[in-house]
Amino acid sequence: MKHRYLPMTEQDQQDMLQVIGVPTVEELFKDIPESVRFQGEYDIKPAKSEPALMKELSRLASRNADLKNYASFLGAGVYDHYAPVIVDHVLSRSEFYTAYTPYQPEISQGELQAIFEYQTMICELTGMDVANSSMYDGGTALAEAAMLASGQTRRKKILISGAVHPESREVVKTYAKGQRVEVIEIPYKDGVTDVAALKELANDDIAGVIIQYPNFFGRIEPLKEMEEIIHGVKSMFIVSSNPLALGALASPGSLGADIVTGDAQPFGIPAAFGGPHCGYFAVTNKLVRKVPGRLVGQTVDEDGKRGFVLTLQAREQHIRRDKATSNICSNQALNALAASVAMTALGKKGVKEMAVQNIQKAHYAKNAFMQKGLEIVFAGPSFNEFVIKLPASFSEVNKKLFEKGMIGGFDLGSVYPELNDHMLVAVTELRTKEEIDAFAQELGDQHE
């Protein structure tokens, strides 16, 4: 068997078996009981050469309609954004992507420093004191936040707004089942969390309250009003945020959040059919020793030179084992690096400018739809998404849009039965005026 990834020659093999002191390689597998030893070869596809495999997979990829060739108005947690070209060049440095967790700090300063910088940038955007080195994604980060709140307050109930991403809500519920925590939904009203309902549900049994900002419908939630109610019953205020929006919006930290989570996908991370993305997790100083996952801290070496290490590891699974409150081990380090590079490239001015472009273009799109006689449902302050009532069935509308080179928005009826034939439309900075006009025109035509 010759293969470009397998350097062992026949001569090597003979020499090595001799040192080991066995006549054949089979001898090394004799401790596997005969009855379970696998005989023969797997019944899987045969190996392909590099060029043949690239051709096959390139053809398979071309059977997907991609965001580079279609104008996408689809968001709902995953967005088509400007990713500075430099991001992929940095990620392609294989010193980063072929390394593992920086357990040996002396030869991992690059990764450690990059994560330290990432933690700083997440703190800056969220207005929080501490951010960890990343979580799998926004959904699981939110679930871990709920579990942290339950552990910290020793309470077993979580309130979650119905305007939080439906899949995140489901993930929170699955994690809660594991920890025997009850999850209660706060209804939404006119596209935002029903504050009156929150007031009724909030009591001193509630560990934490989860609000998304901007919420799943794109609306900006009145966090200030809610903060008083939540802290009034000594619950933890958990906010899930699109970090790009925070370039223009007041930070959750400044509005009283205890834990802020979300997904850094808008910063240089491709949609990739839903993953891998990059969950972030930020808390106030008070909770620093309760944060799940890895933390990078600054210290000095024997000569007093600045350096970085994984720190406060007593929180983590490999030390605490069954006493651990989270089992996370691998995270999304490479995507945290992508987000760092994107945040660095955008910088102080660009992150704000990009966020504002989203707001402006979505605002323009709303007006364009209204001019075509379409109804904006849940009208009110929003970031880059909003809800429209469709002139025909979702599938019909979407099909026609696709024929014109556009990927329509999210089918709200698929998760909110009361919003059948409503579309959640995302307008990012990448959508041109021309594309927005064409989209509005198409829906307008169907309306008439």
Q: Cβ neighbours of residue 59 under 8 Å, at least 6 residues apart?
A: none
Give the whole-angstrom CA distance, residue 198 versus residue 227: 11
Closest to other proteins by CB, 7 vs 417, is: 7
The distance of closest approach from Cβ of residue 18 to other proteins in the complex, given in angstroms and rounded to an integer, is 10
Nearer to other proteins, 350 or 444 (CB): 350
Q: If binding is defined by CB under 8 A, does position 15 make contact with other proteins?
A: yes
d(CA 8, CA 380): 66
Asked if residue 23 binds other proteins (CB under 8 A), the reply is: no
- Shortest separation between residue 140's beta carbon and other proteins, angstroms: 6
Look at residues 334, 405, 383 and name the one whose alpha carbon lies nearest to residue 99: 334
Q: Contacts with other proteins in 384-403 (CB under 8 A)?
A: 395, 398, 402
Please state, in angstroms and rounded to a whole number, the distance separating the CA atoms of residues 224 and 204: 20
Question: Among 10, 64, 403, 418, which residue interacts with other proteins (rule: CB under 8 A)?
Answer: 64
Question: What is the nearest approach in angstroms of other proteins to the Cβ of residue 448?
Answer: 24
Residue 376 C-beta: closest distance to other proteins, Å? 13
Distance in Å, CB of 278 to other proteins, minimum: 8
Interface positions, 34-63, toward other proteins (CB under 8 A): 35-38, 41-48, 50, 53-54, 56-63
| Number of residues binding to other proteins, judged by CB under 8 A | 210
Within 182-201, which residues bind other proteins (CB under 8 A)? none
Shorter beta-carbon distance to other proteins: residue 234 or 289:
289
Q: How far is the CB of 102 from other proteins (least distance, A)?
A: 7
Least distance from other proteins to the Cβ atom of residue 232, Å: 19
Is 229 a binder of other proteins (CB under 8 A)? no
Which residue in 10, 23, 154, 302 binds other proteins (CB under 8 A)? 302
CA 187 – CA 379 distance, rounded (Å) = 18
Site for other proteins in 118-177 (CB under 8 A): 119-121, 123-125, 129-131, 133-134, 136-140, 147, 165, 167-168, 170-171, 173-175, 177
**Rounded alpha-carbon distances, angstroms, from residue 262 to 280, 293, 418:** 5, 15, 26
Q: Pick from 6, 154, 417, 418: which binds other proteins (CB under 8 A)?
A: 6
Report 204-223 residues binding other proteins (CB under 8 A): 220, 222-223
Please state, in angstroms and as integers, the Cα–Cα distance from residue 24 to each residue in 2, 3, 15, 41, 197, following that order. Answer: 18, 20, 11, 18, 72
* 154 or 448: CB nearest other proteins: 154
d(CA 176, CA 274): 23
* Nearest distance, CB of residue 331 and other proteins, angstroms: 5
32 CB-contact burial (10 Å; exposed 0-12 / middle 13-18 / buried 19+): exposed
Q: Per CB under 8 A, which of residues 368..387 are in contact with other proteins?
A: 381
Q: Are 88 and 440 in contact (CB under 8 A)?
A: no
E strand or H helix that includes residue 143: helix 138-153
Task: Rule CB under 8 A: say whether 8 interacts with other proteins.
Answer: yes
Residue with tokens 């609000």: 211
Q: Are 268 and 87 in contact (CB under 8 A)?
A: yes
Stretch of residues binding other proteins (CB under 8 A), selected from 106-114, 201-209, 384-392, 440-448: 106-114
- CB of residue 281 vs other proteins: minimum separation in angstroms? 12
| Cβ contact 207:157 at 8 Å | yes
CB atoms within 10 A of CB 182: 16
Q: Which of 71, 111, 385, 419 binds other proteins (CB under 8 A)?
A: 111
SS3 state at 239: strand
Which residues within the stretch 245-274 sit at the binding site for other proteins (CB under 8 A)?
246-251, 270-274
Cα 114 from Cα 297, distance rounded (Å): 11
Local structure of 171: helix, strand or coil: helix
d(CA 82, CA 124): 21
Binding residue for other proteins, selected from 186, 201, 260, 341, defined by CB under 8 A: 341
Residue 16 contacts other proteins per CB under 8 A? yes
Closest approach of other proteins to the CB of residue 110, in Å: 3
Answer yes or no: are the C-beta atoms of 256 and 108 closer than 8 Å. Answer: no
Using the minimum distance from each CB to other proteins, give the nearer residue, 36 or 154. Answer: 36
Q: Alpha carbon 389 to chain centroid distance?
A: 28
Task: Rank residues 157 and 361 by Cβ distance to other proteins and give the closer one.
Answer: 361
Q: State which of residues 189, 199, 363, 400 lies at the interface with other proteins (CB under 8 A).
A: 363
Other Cβ atoms less than 10 A from the Cβ of 352: the count is: 14
Asked if 194 and 188 count as a contact pair (C-beta separation under 8 A), the reply is: yes
Q: With binding defined as CB under 8 A, does residue 306 bind other proteins? A: yes
